[in-house]
Structure 1
Amino acid sequence: MKKFLKTAAAALTVAGVLSAGATGMAAPAKPSKMFINGVYQEDMLIVNDRTMVQLRAFNDPKSFIYSYETATKTIIINNPVKKMTVLLKNGLKTAEVNGKDVKLDAPVTVKAGRTYIPVRFVTETLGGKVDYDSSAKYIIVRTPTGDEQFNTLKSGDLAKARALAIKLTRINNGKEIEPYGEGFSTTYTFPKGEALRYFISYKGLETYVVINAKGIAEIKWQKDTLGKNGQAGEEPKPFGESITFTDNFMADMLTYGSVDSTGKYTELGVINRYTDKQYANVVIMPIDGEVRTDAK
Structure 2
Amino acid sequence: MKKLLCVFLTFMLLAGFIQGYALEQPRIEIQINGEAMEFDVNPILENHRVLVPARGIFERLGAEVAWSEETSTVWVKDKYTAIEIPAGKDEAYIHKNFDFTGIPEKIKLDVPAKMIKGRTLVPVRFIAEALGAKVTWDQKNHRVMIVLEVEQMPMGKTIAYKQIMFEDIKENHQLKEWFESNYHVKGVHYARLGKNMYVLISGGERSTGGYRVEVDKVVMETPDRAYVSAYVAAPEKGSMVTQVITYPYVLIQIENENIKHVQGALENKQSGKIRKE
TM-score for both structures, normalised by structure 2: 0.37
* Bigger Rg, which one: 2
Higher strand share: 2
